[in-house]
């Protein structure tokens, strides 16, 4: 057993999900080594919990998704929901031999899967009623996205995932407190990015290793109809296995009125036309993981990039709810560090971060030189 597996498993069980004696935990794995699943089972038992395992394959899931009937998705959701209702904790560990595995599944089928399976099982039950943590697994496919060798990426992965999360938790509290007191947010950045919106009265959630690994963000959501201006995202992204670059969104009174992508623009329009809520925003977050510096088209990493923000067309989380409902939740990332064009983040007229570095005394502990 690789000792890094054991270290990560114990962190996930004891810190991220805080499993207690007698509790049930579902360990759902996607194309990962059996040894890591075993490490999680042993860590859960060591904590006194009852581990349950569901092993998945992305290739098999693609085959299931591509032609499933509504009844097929509903039946699948019913029995997985019954299991999820008995869980107090959940760990989802996702590997991928091919990050584009789902790209051949028709959009209509992916929308059905989101509506009939993912929504009741995960977004309504698991997210709101379990202590959960989801994370990726380092594969050669991910190493390619990061432009690294497999060995170098594995070293990067375990360094990023096994951070001192309690130190980050203490530093992030100050940002969450300040955002809770904030009304207007103003973003400026590369290209023609100039966006304003209110976060007044919306919940604020610091994320420091409990729900995602890697972690490193504080999120809220904009008041639904308050968003105005333009945001031009400077990182590539994947959505349902399809790549997009240089997405530009224009907002008027909260709604996306114009959208453009340098790649697969027709698919962008299809995603934003999924339903009425897809053209409104359900999340605004600030990223600050000290070791994640460059995008790799994996959102669990990219949304935590130091000096970044992400803005999310689609569904809002109940913990930071602006009332927007949608079948989609698509995190899009803007990096404001100098090498990506710089930019500012202002709260109620005060610039609190410039070119990716926090400026105010209460927030400087979140800068890379402090957290690393």
pLDDT for res 47: 98
pLDDT class of 212 with cuts at 50, 70, 90:
confident
Q: Residue range 317-325: average pLDDT?
A: 94
Share of the chain above pLDDT 70, in %: 100
pLDDT class of 80 with cuts at 50, 70, 90:
very high
| pTM score over 0.85 | no
pLDDT for res 241: 79
Ramachandran area for residue 144 (φ above 0: left; ψ -120 to 50: alpha; else beta): alpha
Q: φ, ψ for residue 137 (rounded to 5)?
A: -125, 140
Q: φ, ψ for residue 318 (rounded to 5)?
A: -65, -30
pLDDT for res 313: 97
pLDDT for res 131: 95
β-partners of residue 298 are none
Give 27-78 pLDDT, tens digit per residue.
999 999 999 999 999 999 999 999 999 999 999 999 999 999 999 999 999 9
pLDDT for res 232: 97
Q: Residue range 261-284: average pLDDT?
A: 95
In the block, residue with structure tokens 């290209």: 191
143 is written with which tokens? 């190493």
Give 122-142 pLDDT, tens digit per residue.
989 999 899 999 999 998 988
Give 284-303 pLDDT, tens digit per residue.
999 999 999 999 888 989 99
d(CA 363, CA 286): 12
d(CA 8, CA 110): 31
Residue 109 contacts residue 153 (beta carbons within 8 Å): no
pLDDT for res 314: 96
Residues sharing a CB contact under 8 Å with residue 255, sequence separation 6 or more, in sequence order: 225, 279, 280
pLDDT for res 145: 82
Lowest mean pLDDT among 69-78, 204-213, 215-224, 353-362: 204-213
Distances (CA, A) of 339 to 133, 301, 311, 336: 32, 18, 20, 8
Give 228-243 pLDDT, tens digit per residue.
999 999 999 989 878 9
First and final CA of the chain: distance in angstroms? 28
pLDDT for res 122: 95
**Opening angle at CA 58, ends 96 and 13, nearest 5:** 65
pLDDT for res 102: 85
185 is written with which tokens? 């947010």
Decide if pLDDT at 100 tops 90: no
Helical ranges in 12-103 per DSSP H: 34-46, 58-67, 70-84
Decide if pLDDT at 169 tops 90: yes
Tell me what the pLDDT averaged over the chain comes to: 95
pLDDT for res 31: 93
Decide if pLDDT at 81 tops 90: yes
Share of the chain above pLDDT 90, in %: 85
pLDDT for res 191: 83
pLDDT class of 115 with cuts at 50, 70, 90:
very high
């Amino acid at each position: 057993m690789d000792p890094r597996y054991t270290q990560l498993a114990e962190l996930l069980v004891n810190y991220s999900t805080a499993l207690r004696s007698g509790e049930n935990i579902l360990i759902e794995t996607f194309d990962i080594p059996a040894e890591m699943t075993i490490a999680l089972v042993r860590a859960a038992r060591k904590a006194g919990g009852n581990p349950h395992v569901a092993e998945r394959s992305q290739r098999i899931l693609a085959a299931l998704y591509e032609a499933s009937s509504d009844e097929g998705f509903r039946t699948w959701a019913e029995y997985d929901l019954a299991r999820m209702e008995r869980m107090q904790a959940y760990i989802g560990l996702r590997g991928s031999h091919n990050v584009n595995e789902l790209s051949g599944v028709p959009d209509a089928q992916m929308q059905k899967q989101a509506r009939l399976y993912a929504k009741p099982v995960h977004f309504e039950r698991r997210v709101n009623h379990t202590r959960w943590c989801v994370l990726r697994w380092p594969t050669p496919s991910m190493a390619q996205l990061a432009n690294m060798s497999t060995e170098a990426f594995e070293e990067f992965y375990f360094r990023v995932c096994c951070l001192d999360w309690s130190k980050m938790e203490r530093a992030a509290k100050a940002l969450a407190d300040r955002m809770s007191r904030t009304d207007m947010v103003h973003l400026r950045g590369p290209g023609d990015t100039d966006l304003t919106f209110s976060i007044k009265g919306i919940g604020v959630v610091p994320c420091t290793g409990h729900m995602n690994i890697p972690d490193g963000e504080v999120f809220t959501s904009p008041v639904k109809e308050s968003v105005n201006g333009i945001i031009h995202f400077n990182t590539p992204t994947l959505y349902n296995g399809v790549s997009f670059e240089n997405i530009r969104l224009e907002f008027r009174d909260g709604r996306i009125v114009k959208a453009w992508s340098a790649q697969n623009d027709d698919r962008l329009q299809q995603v934003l036309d999924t339903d009425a809520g897809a053209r409104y925003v359900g999340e605004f977050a600030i990223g600050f993981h000290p070791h994640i510096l460059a995008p790799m088209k994996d959102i669990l990493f990219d949304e935590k990039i130091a000096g970044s923000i992400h803005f999310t067309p689609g569904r809002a989380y109940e913990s930071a709810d602006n009332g927007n409902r949608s079948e989609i939740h698509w995190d899009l990332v803007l990096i404001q560090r100098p090498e990506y064009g710089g930019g500012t983040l202002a709260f109620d007229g005060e610039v609190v971060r410039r070119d990716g570095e926090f400026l105010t005394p209460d927030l400087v502990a979140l800068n890379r030189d402090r957290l690393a």
